[in-house]
Amino acid sequence: MTTPRIAYQGEPGAYSHQACVEARPDHDPMPCSTFEDAIEAVRTGAAELAMLPVENSTYGRVADIHRLLPESGLHIVGEAFVRVHISLLGVPGTRIENVTRAQSHTVLLGQCRTFLRANGIEPVTGADTAGSAAHVARVSDPSLAALASELAGEIYGLVPLAREIEDQTTNTTRFLVMARQADLSRRGAGPMMTTFVFRVRNIPAALYKALGGFATNGVNMTKLESYMAGGNFTATQFHADIEGHPDDRSVRLALEELDYFTSKITLLGVYPADPRRAREG
């Protein structure tokens, strides 16, 4: 029997790879060059699922993902919160005092400023985290280390010289699990989440009125973000996450009121809340 695959953007050892291993251990991770490639892998059947990062607790939303999701043709069937632990990885036999430079994605370099400064290590910008680990393994220079996950170290034969060196001890990335088919069933023992995008009608106070139903019906909206749609300044689309299932009476009433004040609503998915959501909140 063939093991199902889950596509992600990045090289083996990337934090998206880690998310796949943690959240879907029964799937084989499938690396892809871009987010679009990961989405296309699911659309064509090359993979059953895609793991896409949407936001980080330190750096906010992942660029372009919110534009890709509504047009992807895929559906959200799960979420995963991944704690971003950063390790200083070097070639075997290296000691931390040998390291003068550390390479990684610019975001991770920014997350380890205090550690790098304290150890006199110069930051070197790389294309991504796992790619930096692969480069360090390839050049095998004791003075050059990588900032990446321990998973990347295991894959590329590097050893951790220091662990959990990030400045922000709560740095967490939220991922969405995407599939070709929607699953609107209630599943799992915990609460459900519903994600959708909408555009408000061109009337005064439309957004205020559209959101009023969630307040009056006691529905908690955990996320609301806006972005321009269609390449112009007059069309604004909103991305929202709410607690609850569309069949819940309170959610159903809130969505009915939203529908009255919007020109378009697209349901992106209904899925169990990750147990770590409550802790991260």
Enumerate the active-site residues: 173, 175
Q: Could you please report the per-residue DSSP string of 152-182? A: HHHHHT-EEEE----S-TT-EEEEEEEESS-
Tell me the C-alpha distance between 149 and 86, whole Å.
Answer: 5
At 53, list the tokens.
């990062």
Tell me the C-alpha distance between 163 and 84, whole Å.
Answer: 11
Residue 146: how many CB atoms within 10 A of its CB? 32
Residue labelled with tokens 């034969």: 157
Tell me the C-alpha distance between 101 and 98, whole Å.
Answer: 9
Contacts of 118 (CB under 8 A, 6+ apart): none
Tell me the C-alpha distance between 96 and 201, whole Å.
Answer: 59
Residue labelled with tokens 């459900």: 192
Among 195, 198, 89, 95, which Cα is nearest to 152's? 89
Tell me if residue 17 falls in helix, strand or coil.
Answer: helix
Tell me the C-alpha distance between 253 and 228, whole Å.
Answer: 27
E-only strand ranges, 57-191: 60-61, 75-83, 87-90, 101-104, 122-125, 144-148, 159-162, 172-179
